[in-house]
Structure 1
Amino acid sequence: MSLSEPVIELSDVSRAFTVRSRAGWRRTRREVRAVDGLSFTVEPGEVMGYIGPNGAGKSTTIKMLTGILVPSAGSIRVAGVDPSRHRLKLAKRIGVVFGQRTTLWWDLPLKDSFAVLQKMYGVPLARHRENLATFVELLDLGDLLDVPVRQLSLGQRMRGDIAAALLHDPEIVYLDEPTIGLDVISKARLREFLARIAADRGTTIILTTHDLDDIEALCSRVMVIDHGHQIFDGTLPQLKSSQSAPRTLVVDLATSLPAIEVPGATVVKVEGPRQHLTFPTTTSAAPILAEIAANYPLVDLSIAEPTIESVITQLYSPTSP
Structure 2
Amino acid sequence: MNIIEVSHLVKEYKKIKKERGLRGAVKNLFVQNTETVRAVDDISFSIEKGDIVGYIGPNGAGKSTTVKMLSGIMRPTSGEILIDGISPQKDRKRVVRNLGVVFGQRSQLNWDLRLGETFELLKRIYQIEDKTYTENLGTLNEIFQIDRFIDTPVRQLSLGQRMRGDLVAAMLHSPEVLFLDEPTIGLDVEAKYSVRKFIKEVNQRGKTTIILTTHDLGDIQELCRRVIIINEGAVIEDGSLDELIDKIAPYRHLIIDFYHPVTIPHPHAEIVSVREARSVYRFRKDEITAARLIEDISHTAPIKEVGLEEAKIDDIIRTVYHQRKASVQS
Shared fold (TM-score greater than 0.5)? yes
- Secondary structure at 1:181 match in 2: coil
Percent identical residues = 41
Query: Measured at CA, do residues 94 and 305 of structure 1 come closer, stay the same or move farther in structure 2, by a change above 3 Å?
Result: same
Structure 2 residue corresponding to 1:8, chosen from 1, 4, 9: 4
- Secondary structure at 2:46 match in 1: strand
Measure the CA separation in 1 of the matches of 2:146 and 2:303: 51
More helix by share: 2
Scaled by the length of structure 1, the TM-score of the pair is 0.90
Residue 74 of structure 2 corresponds to 69
Residue 176 of structure 2 corresponds to 171
Scaled by the length of structure 2, the TM-score of the pair is 0.88
Measure the CA separation in 2 of the matches of 1:274 and 1:131: 55
Measure the CA separation in 1 of the matches of 2:176 and 2:146: 23
Given that 2:133 and 2:172 are in contact with CA atoms closer than 8 Å, whether structure 1 keeps it comes out as yes
Structure 1 residue corresponding to 2:284, chosen from 267, 270, 280: 280
Given that 1:49 and 1:222 are in contact with CA atoms closer than 8 Å, whether structure 2 keeps it comes out as yes
Counterpart AA for 1:15: K
- 1:51-110 per-residue CA deviation (whole Å, 9 max, x = no partner) reads 111111111110110111111111111122221232222221100001111111112211
Gaps of 5+ in 2: none
Question: How far apart are residue 33 of structure 1 and its match?
Answer: 0.8
Structure 2 residue corresponding to 1:209, chosen from 189, 214, 218: 214
Mapping for residues 1-321 of structure 1, pairs under 5 Å = 4=1, 6-23=2-19, 24=24, 25=27, 27-244=32-249, 246-255=251-260, 257=261, 262-266=266-270, 273-285=277-289, 288-290=293-295, 292-318=297-323
Question: How far apart are residue 220 of structure 1 and its match?
Answer: 1.7
- Secondary structure at 1:190 match in 2: helix
- 1:94-134 per-residue CA deviation (whole Å, 9 max, x = no partner) reads 00001111111112211111111111110001110111111
Counterpart AA for 1:204: T
Measure the CA separation in 2 of the matches of 1:30 and 1:260: 61
Counterpart AA for 1:248: H
Runs ≥4 residues deviating over 6 A: none
- 1:221-259 per-residue CA deviation (whole Å, 9 max, x = no partner) reads 21111111111111121111121353121222225x487
Query: Measured at CA, do residues 318 and 232 of structure 1 come closer, stay the same or move farther in structure 2, by a change above 3 Å?
Result: closer
Measure the CA separation in 2 of the matches of 1:120 and 1:185: 32
Counterpart AA for 1:71: P
Given that 2:11 and 2:39 are in contact with CA atoms closer than 8 Å, whether structure 1 keeps it comes out as yes
Given that 1:245 and 1:311 are in contact with CA atoms closer than 8 Å, whether structure 2 keeps it comes out as no
Counterpart AA for 1:155: G
Deviates more, 1:125-134 or 1:262-271: 262-271
Measure the CA separation in 2 of the matches of 1:116 and 1:41: 33
Measure the CA separation in 1 of the matches of 2:10 and 2:273: 46
Measure the CA separation in 2 of the matches of 1:96 and 1:269: 49
Query: Measured at CA, do residues 120 and 253 of structure 1 come closer, stay the same or move farther in structure 2, by a change above 3 Å?
Result: same
- Secondary structure at 1:7 match in 2: strand
Query: Measured at CA, do residues 113 and 273 of structure 1 come closer, stay the same or move farther in structure 2, by a change above 3 Å?
Result: farther
Measure the CA separation in 2 of the matches of 1:277 and 1:150: 55
Question: How far apart are residue 157 of structure 1 and its match?
Answer: 0.9
**Cα RMSD (Å) of the superposition?**
2.2
Gaps of 5+ in 1: none
Question: How far apart are residue 206 of structure 1 and its match?
Answer: 0.6
Question: How far apart are residue 163 of structure 1 and its match?
Answer: 0.5
Measure the CA separation in 2 of the matches of 1:93 and 1:271: 59
Measure the CA separation in 2 of the matches of 1:278 and 1:108: 58
Number of corresponding residues: 316
Given that 1:248 and 1:278 are in contact with CA atoms closer than 8 Å, whether structure 2 keeps it comes out as yes
Given that 2:255 and 2:281 are in contact with CA atoms closer than 8 Å, whether structure 1 keeps it comes out as yes
Counterpart AA for 2:71: T
Measure the CA separation in 1 of the matches of 2:102 and 2:288: 43
- Secondary structure at 1:20 match in 2: strand
- Secondary structure at 1:137 match in 2: helix
- Secondary structure at 1:81 match in 2: coil
Measure the CA separation in 2 of the matches of 1:141 and 1:33: 41
Question: How far apart are residue 10 of structure 1 and its match?
Answer: 1.1
Measure the CA separation in 2 of the matches of 1:105 and 1:275: 59
